[in-house]
Amino acid sequence: MKRIASNMLLSLALLTLLCVLLSAGPQVPLASAAGISEQETDLKKEPQPEFSSSQELNSAQAKMGVRTGSIQDAYTAQYLPDTSILYFEGISDMIVALTAGKIDGFMTVATRVPFILRENEKLAAFELEGPLDHVAFMSAPADFSRDLLVQLNSYILSAKNNGLFDKLYDQWFKAQDSYPEVISESELSADHGVIRYAAQGNMEPISFILGDKLTGLELDLLSRFCQEYGYGLTVTESNIAGMLAGITSGKYDLAGGGLAITEERRQSVDFTESYHSYGQWIITRALVGAGGDSGENTRVSFWSKVSNSFHKTFIRESRWKLIAGGIGVSLLISIMAGIIGSLFGFGICLLRMSKKRGPSAFAKVFIRLIQGVPMVVLLMILYYLVFGSVDINAIIVAIIGISINFGVYVGEMMRTGIEAVPTGQREASLALGYNNLQTFSKVIFPQAARHILPVYKGEFISMVKTTSIVGYIAVQDLTKVSDIIRSRTYEAFFPLIVTAIIYFLIAWILTSLLNLIEIRIDPGKRSRELKGVIE
């Protein structure tokens, strides 16, 4: 008991120390975002890329990284037909794969290139001749969205003609010390309804996470439109796959974040007038000694690199607050899903053990169905289909989905534990005058709990780690905020390592709590010291 308590205290102390370290250090202003047009000119000078043309990549039969659901998938197949494609969830993942030699390059939009090269001196880029994408808002095929589309088209054309868009472009693309403020959601009236807007948060400066909020040129333009036309606005950060699912299911009215117009997408969704256009660039490794990483960085001390990376990842823009918020969300989902899932599992267990064929068959089919569906697919079905037309917080949907999945496994554990108790125990308790409820609560279940808890602990910790996938339905849990930070810094080391450490500490603390409960229930695990006996 004392050892378990000391382990819990040690875990809490380590978690507290980690939070203190994250919150320490000076606050610094936003890093400069120089004009994209000027940076694109510099990109053509140096550093020199390992591959300098699409022909070289095709000849080498290179491995190309592609972000799932992006327009670069089609462009890679069209312009680099002799290369092989590996799919990734984000730009930061492809950068790690590129520097590790797992891929030879990846394609991305011109607006993102300067920020990637600014943070990764071992990489270089060259422009892909040919494709020019037009960026617009994506609209849901619904009556409200169609009316909104007409008004937004008129506003975009007006902004281009009266110089408003050029002004916004200069403010965001040529920002020096800080980005401009976007009109707050609370400042907008909802006289004509509320626009549900979702956007990807990794397209700086068009759409990105700053602090703990989504911002960027696109949101600035949309907020000004809402203010002029009397709309309210709710903002959700999501990936491309989530936005497409949300738009087609009616979960969102508008989606954006630098989305390109394609004919294939037009078959399922509507688009506004284009407000911006950009070309495609290919990121590859820089040649050593040819304007790339010439080795000067190796003379910088290891601890200086670590300190700089730590500062950029956590201290800049107070990004440690994102981590703290993510921890809270992950703990909330884990604890609520654990409680609700356990109660739900008990109900499933009762149905499964029912002597009536109907309830028992239903429970058996339900269990097999949930066990056969991947957790991430279940969450997306609940969020985009079942609750697609309902204004419900994504955290609640995550709790419901994980509770259902956890509950079916708990139900089977309970059934196995109850069946492990000898039948004679029930018969003896009934002979002593206990009714069925008293027999179950005072005789059967306490003995069954001794069989259930060891397996329950492992399943509970597995459920806690499963919460790392809730980012697929726009929940900013610990893993999701780690991805957001990586999308801004293009670094993987600190966000991933800290995320792993925090999950380990959370699992350690919760396991210690369950061990205490197990000791209270199972007499065989208690201390065998006898009071009054002295050796």
In this structure, the dihedral spanned by the alpha carbons of residues 7, 482, 212 and 276, taken in order and rounded to 10 degrees, is 180
pLDDT of 11: 55
Write the pLDDT tens digit of every residue in 48-73. 889 999 999 999 999 999 988 788 99
Q: For residue 167, what pLDDT is reported?
A: 94
Q: Quick one: pLDDT at residue 6?
A: 58
User: What would the pLDDT profile of 495-529 be if each residue is shown by its tens digit?
Assistant: 888 899 999 999 899 888 888 887 777 666 666 66
**pLDDT tens, residue by residue, 292-323:** 554 444 455 667 777 777 888 888 878 888 89
**Secondary element (H or E) of residue 211:** none
DSSP symbol at 1: -
Classified as helix, coil or strand, 373 is coil
pLDDT > 70: percent of the chain: 86
Among the residue ranges 30-44, 60-74, 384-398, 513-527, the one predicted with the least confidence is: 30-44
Please tell me the predicted confidence (pLDDT) of residue 23: 44
Under 8 Å between Cβ of 135 and 278: yes
Please compute the mean of the pLDDT values over residues 212-229 and round it to a whole number.
Answer: 93
**What band does 8 get if pLDDT is binned at 50, 70 and 90?**
low
Indicate the length of the chain as a whole number: 535
The per-residue pLDDT for 225 is 95
The pLDDT of residue 5 is above 90: no
Domain ranges across the chain? 46-131+281-299, 138-274, 320-525
Q: What is the CATH number of domain 46-131+281-299?
A: 3.40.190.10
Check if 46-131+281-299 and 320-525 are the same fold: no
CA distance 59 to 74: 19
Q: Cα 36 to the chain's mean position, in Å?
A: 28
In the CATH scheme, what is the code of domain 320-525? 1.10.3720.10
Under a CB-based contact definition with an 8 Å cutoff, are residues 98 and 123 in contact?
yes
Handedness of CA 110, 115, 118, 119 (dihedral sign): negative
Those residues whose C-beta lies under 8 Å from the C-beta of residue 227, and which sit 6 or more positions away, are: 183, 187, 188
Task: Give the pLDDT confidence score for residue 218 in this predicted structure.
Answer: 94
Q: What pTM was computed for the model?
A: 0.77
At residue 4, the pLDDT reads 52
- 100 φ/ψ sector (left φ>0, alpha ψ -120 to 50, else beta): alpha
Q: What is the dihedral of CA 461, 333, 408, 427, to 10 degrees?
A: 80
Task: Estimate to the nearest angstrom the gap between the alpha carbon of 310 and the chain centroid.
Answer: 21
Look at phi and psi of residue 211 and say left if phi exceeds 0, alpha if psi is from -120 to 50, else beta.
left
CB atoms within 10 A of CB 500: 11
Secondary structure (H, E, C), 74-138: HHHHHHCCCCEEEEECCHHHHHHHHHCCCCCEEEEECCCHHHHHHHCCCEEEEEEEEEEEEECCE
Alpha carbon of residue 141 to chain centroid: 26
Percent of the chain's residues with pLDDT above 90: 45
259-263, 488-492, 520-524, 525-529: least confidently modelled range: 525-529
CA distance 412 to 407: 9
The architecture that CATH gives domain 138-274 is 3-Layer(aba) Sandwich (3.40)
